[in-house]
Structure 1
Amino acid sequence: MMLNSRSYVNEMCLCVLLLLALSGIGVTNSQSIVTTLPGFDGELPFKLETGYIGIGDTDDVQLFYYFIESERDPVTDPLMLWLTGGPGCSGLSALVYEIGPLAFDVEAWNGSLPTLVVNKYSWTRVANIIFIDQPVGTGYSYATTESGKNTSDTKAVAQAYSFLRKWLTSHPQFQANPLYIGGDSYSGFTLPLLVQTILDGIEAGNEPDMGLQGYILGNPVTDSFVDDNSRIPYVHRVNLISDELYERAKLFCNGDYINIDFNNSLCVTSLDAIKQCLLQINLVHILEPQCAFAAPRRKEIEWDLRVREAEEMEYLLSQNKLPKLTCRSFGYMLSHKWANDDAVKAALYVREGTLESSWMRCLKSLPFYTEEISSTIAYHQNFTRTGLRALIYSGDHDISVPYIGTLSWVNNLKVPIFDQWRPWYVDGQIAGYLQKYTNDNFRLTYVTLKGAGHTAPEYKHKESMNMVERWFAYYPI
């Protein structure tokens, strides 16, 4: 049959579009299986998938993710979407430093491409986990338009929900798995809103179906006042300030160390004395060294952990040889060396030209991001009527989000205590302490990890893996 020129062009366009779709070129969603990685010896002993999912009417936001199937039974084990904190910390951070199956061999680094080893206490031994780079601009995620770069707490949550729906649609084999949402640190602000959004979507009949069972939060920022105000009682409890200093501050500041009346000289003087005791303390783990070589001696406490790390990274990355003092941030530097390597980006199927600047584990700031949430206690209160399960855990050596502040708001949910404060064990040793709460519609387990800091699994891999394995299995921790 003869075709006129317009029909011929239309037919050719359709063929080209079909070929593009089949080849993956120009498609806003993509996924690829990664079997080997630069720096890792041999094939990966687990199934790793990376990809992008487009968000928005024009898919102008492209969220990058790492998905690792459960190494035990991916068909029946839980599926968990993990939100790394920040805002602006890459999902790769949680994958290699906290709960994933890989870790950098810090001691073996000789200046070349960092090497990777297996973390035998990975949470992927008992769960399928999606690590996502969000909000947009984090890690390898990017926007194709200027407007797409603008985001906020609520926009990031809406985009994470859209991501999860699209991901489940393209992975229907996981739609029947029990679904959990997990995260730590700043995710304490965004994760509860995402859980509520999922609940609302289930009630509205949104597709695909989501079998949401509960959520996990570690060292979570939850209420700006409760968390921050608990720091002074915490540092007194762990003997970083004297009884006298604490009693003076409590008396003169009337127990409020945040909303300070600067005309109250006695309160101001007391808090300044406390500040001098804390300036050289590591805020994420009180027993670990402060990397004093990374910056001049501080005159003020920098509570923004992203700023502190960025200053250390600038110093470490500028050095031609290893510093004499090895601290935790040295290990963070290796992720910058590794993730910015062209061979690594090619192996992960990162799209060329989409990274505007160097990859960073945690961005110092997100210029297009608006922080809107100051408390999520009301969301947790609502969850006590939903039938969900919750696991809240804290590293008990963290000043930035002290466990006593977290325990305070947990207790104020007014859910009856089912299991009183007691130790829990790993290999016959006390791994921390726990308290369980339950009513007819909600079960919450609060756990401390003894000796851990902020992002607790990073410090206690074995203990945290035991904790989450028991919790997922409904087995007593």
Structure 2
Amino acid sequence: MMTMTGRSLFRLLALLVSFAVAVSGATIVKTLPGFDGDLPFNLETGYVSVEDSELFYYFIESEGDPELDPIMLWYSGGPGCSAFNGLIFENGPLAFNITKYEGGVPQMQYYSNGWTKTASILFVDAPVGTGFSYSKTAEGWYTSDTKSAWQTYLFLRKWLIQHPQYLKLQLFVGADSYSGISGSIVVQHIIDANEAREVPRLNLKGYILGCPRIDATINENSKIIFAHQIGLVSDEIYYTMKEACNGSYSDITSSQGECYEAYLKYETCTKDINTNSILEPTCNWASPKASEELKRRDLEEGSKPFILSPPRIPEFWCHNFNYALSYIWANDEGVQTALGVRKGTVENWVRCNQSLQYTLDVSSVLDYHKNLSDKGLQVLIYNGDHDFTIPASGTQEWIRVMNLTITDDWRQWIVDGQIAGYTIKYNNVGYRLTYASVLGAGHSPQEYKRRECYQMFERFINYYPI
């Protein structure tokens, strides 16, 4: 019979073997095309096999104290948006130089307010079909909210087993936008495994969700509330809708008479608004076709003549121009070689894959959050206050539904002497939830207020007041 010491030794050897396998299959990236000199941080890329999927990741070790700083899993929304979006436009220590592009491989520069200053971040292309992640079988391309959450959890578990030096660190799960659905379920999977005493135990400390989709009905209702609060619709339209529709605005049909007529007026008032950031242009002029498809497709796919040199035509600028260089960079053969991308696995990299074989099988994860609220976790939820895609009013509503105790009421939070947003804190027997709005930001907030969002993250992760 194996002794306890023997079991421990066996597990240690297994971890070391797994780690050796992982290192041999990973790529340690010292330089990148478009970046001058060696990278000033440690970057590893690679794949983790999960069922039929090969999930691609970028891992950046903390630039602070990697032996003590927490580690965070991060993936983007969509579903289908690459984690590279988070790395280059939101949380990471790199940024494109969008003002001096003259062709060829786009130039990158170090960004000093990346979240990796104070945490190691594991960026994963999830679900399968996102970024450089791919399936080994035809059946494996089909996924859903529940399957994606399960595969992302397995990815995280496998990666940590393959990198045992990070198992002891505090772990956070981070996601934004639509991945608020699967990200919430990933957290629950970790809790369930820990309570079942699975080995190794993941040292989950909490989770961080930016502009998260949590409940479909609350989110749809909040758009009408937000439109009225911000002045996009009149009092008359709003109060007519509120009375005629009984405060419920999802799945309205023509059979609802006065409610339907009021809803049509609301749609007329808001149809040309940029839902990601209401103060920015929609750039409909840049698309060859004005249709519903425009709402689902990125501007870059049909408008490259406008976006290769945006500073030269500032009157035609729109936010999506910032994404254009990522297509050129990530599809460059030299870039893919440097990243260790397996040849032939992804024919054409796109920032957000709109052709996923994906089933939306979860409309609400509010019950997950209610369940998690007695697990002693540390939670950060944040929204841009100009986001019409997932309005802050909806996020505040589902948090209220959780019936937590307010411990620090609504107040300003400050960066460099200026108001960066507003915050409120809740508690429930050791469960601590901080909600923060980001002033002037859209969807996702880091893309609009990158420095302020780093300050928010840094204070939260180090237990300072936001």
TM-score (norm 1): 0.89
Partner of 1:17: none
Question: How far does the alpha carbon of each residue in 1:160-211 deviate from its partner, in whole angstroms, 9 at most, with x for none?
Answer: 1111111111111111100000010011110111101001111122222211
* Matching residue within 350, 355, 358 for 2:348: 358
Equivalent runs, 1:49-60 vs 2, <5 Å: 49-56=44-51, 60=52
Partner of 2:151: 159
Are the aligned partners of 1:29 and 1:53 in contact in 2 as well (CA < 8 Å)? no
Partner of 2:459: 470
* Matching residue within 37, 44, 52 for 2:39: 44
Question: How far does the alpha carbon of each residue in 1:34-66 deviate from its partner, in whole angstroms, 9 at most, with x for none?
Answer: 01111111111111000011112xxx3111000
- Are positions 1:417 and 2:412 aligned together? no
Equivalent runs, 1:245-284 vs 2, <5 Å: 245-284=237-276
- Residues 1:207 and 1:231: Cα distance change in structure 2 (over 3 Å): same
SS at 2:317 equivalent? coil
1:365 maps to amino acid: S
Are the aligned partners of 1:28 and 1:62 in contact in 2 as well (CA < 8 Å)? no
Partner of 2:318: 327
Equivalent runs, 1:11-410 vs 2, <5 Å: 30-56=25-51, 60-295=52-287, 298=290, 307-309=296-298, 312-317=299-304, 322=309, 324=313, 325-355=316-346, 357-366=347-356, 368-410=357-399
* Matching residue within 436, 460, 464 for 1:447: 436
Are the aligned partners of 2:232 and 2:269 in contact in 1 as well (CA < 8 Å)? yes
1:50 maps to amino acid: T
| 1:285 positional shift | 0.3
Query: CA separation in 2, counterparts of 1:255 and 1:162?
Result: 40
Superposition RMSD in Å: 2.0
Are the aligned partners of 1:422 and 1:434 in contact in 2 as well (CA < 8 Å)? yes
Query: CA separation in 1, counterparts of 2:30 and 2:23?
Result: 23
| 1:233 positional shift | 1.0
- Residues 1:291 and 1:384: Cα distance change in structure 2 (over 3 Å): same
Query: CA separation in 2, counterparts of 1:475 and 1:294?
Result: 44
- Residues 1:370 and 1:245: Cα distance change in structure 2 (over 3 Å): same
| 1:22 positional shift | 13
| 1:441 positional shift | 3.0
| 1:261 positional shift | 3.8
Are the aligned partners of 2:300 and 2:320 in contact in 1 as well (CA < 8 Å)? yes
- Residues 1:423 and 1:22: Cα distance change in structure 2 (over 3 Å): closer
Stretch moving more, 398-407 or 201-210: 201-210
Are the aligned partners of 1:394 and 1:403 in contact in 2 as well (CA < 8 Å)? yes
Question: How far does the alpha carbon of each residue in 1:99-158 deviate from its partner, in whole angstroms, 9 at most, with x for none?
Answer: 111111111112322111122110000100000011111100111111221221111111
Contiguous gaps of at least 5 residues in structure 1: 1-20
1:104 maps to amino acid: F
- Residues 1:441 and 1:29: Cα distance change in structure 2 (over 3 Å): farther
Query: CA separation in 2, counterparts of 1:50 and 1:318?
Result: 32
2:108 maps to amino acid: L
- Residues 1:103 and 1:88: Cα distance change in structure 2 (over 3 Å): same
- Residues 1:118 and 1:258: Cα distance change in structure 2 (over 3 Å): same
Query: CA separation in 1, counterparts of 2:388 and 2:223?
Result: 6
2:348 maps to amino acid: S
SS at 2:26 equivalent? strand
- Residues 1:321 and 1:125: Cα distance change in structure 2 (over 3 Å): closer
Question: How far does the alpha carbon of each residue in 1:359-390 deviate from its partner, in whole angstroms, 9 at most, with x for none?
Answer: 01101131x22111100000110111111111
| 1:297 positional shift | 7.6
Are the aligned partners of 1:168 and 1:208 in contact in 2 as well (CA < 8 Å)? no
Query: CA separation in 2, counterparts of 1:214 and 1:454?
Result: 22
- Residues 1:425 and 1:319: Cα distance change in structure 2 (over 3 Å): closer
- Residues 1:271 and 1:298: Cα distance change in structure 2 (over 3 Å): farther
Query: CA separation in 2, counterparts of 1:317 and 1:207?
Result: 50
Report the identity percentage. Answer: 47
Partner of 1:3: none
Query: CA separation in 1, counterparts of 2:222 and 2:401?
Result: 15
| 1:319 positional shift | 6.1
- Residues 1:257 and 1:296: Cα distance change in structure 2 (over 3 Å): farther
Partner of 1:458: 447
| 1:93 positional shift | 0.6
Query: CA separation in 1, counterparts of 2:307 and 2:366?
Result: 47
Are the aligned partners of 2:410 and 2:424 in contact in 1 as well (CA < 8 Å)? yes
Partner of 2:421: 432
Stretch moving more, 325-334 or 414-423: 325-334
Query: CA separation in 1, counterparts of 2:301 and 2:203?
Result: 44
Are the aligned partners of 1:48 and 1:66 in contact in 2 as well (CA < 8 Å)? yes
Greater Cα radius of gyration, structure 1 or 2: 1
TM-score (norm 2): 0.92
Query: CA separation in 2, counterparts of 1:81 and 1:250?
Result: 40
Query: CA separation in 2, counterparts of 1:347 and 1:38?
Result: 8
